[in-house]
Amino acid sequence: MKNKIVLITGATSGIGWATALEFKKAGAKLILCGRRKERLELLDNKLGGEQKLLNFDVRDKNEVFKSFESLPENWKDIDLLINNAGNAHGLDPVQSASLEDWDSMIDGNVKGLMYVTKAILPSMIKRKKGHIINLGSIAGKEVYPNGSVYCSSKAAVDFFTRGLRIDLNPLGIRVGAIHPGLVETEFSDVRFKGDKKRASAVYQGMEALTAKEVASSILYMANVPEKVTIADMIILPTRQANSYINNRKNSL
């Protein structure tokens, strides 16, 4: 990945943060995107060297396109887009779930990913070269109780990825997705709106994936020869069989 221009959305925490660290070590030139400016600057300082920081919310279509237009010309030819930004809000049955939570998940996980992809595509299409890796979820492969809209949003990522690969195949642009299972990050803190006790219970008795382990898998996907596309990767902790069957230590 040395000297390749890699753009990572949602770089301010979790998998995005870990992915930035892994790709920096691999010699990539990074464009880091996120909503929290102070966290972007903290990551920038940690990485050292030169990065480009884009402070915007992927849900804001105008900000997405304006941010990419602001890049210097020598940073606009992005070699790899890692669409990582996304969120989960609430864990409720449809009949009692919040419409605001639904909007946040659909706008961020689906529309935001599509906006960013659309914004960076012209350069890849012109060069007939590029690589896109989307962050899906095991939740996009199978539904679990009370997760109907989050699962729907990740299923949309899966199907958008498949369609994108078909559309861009004649242009030589590679497209793939990685679908992690349980990863211990800020994910559950956000889902349960800061309820630390409820968030920690998600990981109780589990050896969940780490953000670094997912990031290392993304780096592997990006590093295969250009004639190879890893189209779809599901990565689970060994104690997890699917999106809702978990072999917790205290259940043995």
| Across 13-22, 65-74, 160-169, 186-195, least confident range | 186-195
Is 203 a known active-site residue?
A: no
Active-site residue, selected from the candidate residues 144, 150, 220, 244? 150
Structure tokens at 129: 């070269």
The alpha carbon of 155 is separated from its chain's Cα centroid by a whole number of angstroms, namely 14
d(CA 150, CA 111): 13
pLDDT over 70 at 216, yes or no: yes
d(CA 222, CA 130): 11
Mind listing the pLDDT tens digit for each residue in 94-143?
A: 999 999 999 999 999 999 999 999 999 999 999 999 999 999 999 999 99
Containing structural domain, residue 40: 5-251
Mind listing the pLDDT tens digit for each residue in 57-95?
A: 999 999 999 999 999 999 999 999 999 998 888 889 999
Given pLDDT bands bounded at 50, 70 and 90, which one contains residue 252?
very low
Q: Closest by alpha carbon to 83, among 169, 10, 19?
A: 10
Structure tokens at 245: 């069957």
pLDDT over 80 at 194, yes or no: no
Q: How many domains does the chain have?
A: 1
Alpha helices in 108-248 (DSSP H): 113-127, 148-168, 187-191, 196-203, 211-223
Q: Give this prediction's pTM.
A: 0.93
pLDDT of residue 153: 97
What CATH number has the domain bearing residue 194?
Answer: 3.40.50.720
